[in-house]
Amino acid sequence: MKRLPLLCLALLASFGARAEWLTLAGTAGDEAASYVQVDPTSVEADGSKRLVSLRMSLPQDRTGRDGIKYRSFQARAKVDCDARSARYVNVSYFGHPNFVGEPVAVKHYEEEEDVRPVTLAGARDLVTRTINAACSVRPKEAREPQQQQQPRPEVEPALPAR
**Rounded CA separation 37/71 (Å):** 15
Which CB contacts under 8 angstroms, 24+ apart, belong to 59-66?
Answer: 59/31, 59/32, 59/33, 59/34, 59/97, 62/121, 64/93, 66/105, 66/107
pLDDT value of position 140: 61
pLDDT value of position 114: 77
**Rounded CA separation 40/86 (Å):** 16
- For residue 53, give every residue at least 6 positions away whose Cβ sits within 8 Å of its Cβ, in sequence order, or none: 38, 39, 42, 74, 75, 76, 77
Phi, psi of 31 (to 5 degrees): -75, -15
**In a 3-state reduction of DSSP, which class is residue 36?**
strand
User: What are the per-10-residue average pLDDT scores of the chain (162 residues)?
Assistant: 42 44 87 88 89 92 90 94 93 94 92 80 77 79 48 48 54
pLDDT value of position 128: 87
pLDDT value of position 157: 46
pLDDT value of position 42: 84
- For residue 82, give every residue at least 6 positions away whose Cβ sits within 8 Å of its Cβ, in sequence order, or none: 48
6-47 residue pLDDT tens: 434 443 343 344 447 888 888 889 899 989 888 888 889 989
Domains of the chain, earliest start first: 3-141 (2.40.128)
**Rounded CA separation 112/21 (Å):** 30
